Amino acid sequence: MIINCDGVCTPNKNLSLWPFDFMFNEIPIRERRYLENVLIAGVIPATKKPTNVIFKTCLKFICDDLMQLESGQWYYVKDLDQQIIIHFYTIASCTDKPAEALMQNTVVFNAEYGCPKYCG
């Protein structure tokens, strides 16, 4: 799975939404972004941008659920006409720089000490 997160503007200038969504890599690329193939894990409503504490709290709940999915869950697969254990793994994230800083709990890229690794 790939996790995506980005801020979304709303008609209300005092509100922005920060959805967490997952896409499954096993689905063909053309069909991957269809609404029925995207899993919404959570949405943070915020005035501008959520704080690191709020973001970390939301990620904690998502990570707890992801740990359960990693260990495997029983699912009925209609094409196989049987139940099997399926393991889900998050292998990548796709975010812009502000969301990346929030997900990594670091300062934004243009702040003092804003690079998460040595850039000199």
pLDDT at residue 10 above 80?
Answer: yes
So what's the pLDDT on residue 120? 46
- Domain ranges in the chain are 2-104
Using an 8 Å Cβ cutoff, are 98 and 49 in contact?
yes
Q: Is 44 helix (H, G, I), strand (E, B) or coil?
A: strand
Q: Please state the pTM of the whole predicted model.
A: 0.74
pLDDT tens per residue across span 44-69: 998 888 888 898 999 999 999 999 99
Q: How many CB atoms are located within 10 Å of the residue 74 CB? A: 8
Calculate what percentage of the chain has a pLDDT beyond 90.
Answer: 38
Using an 8 Å Cβ cutoff, are 2 and 92 in contact?
yes
- Region 79-89: what's the mean pLDDT? 92
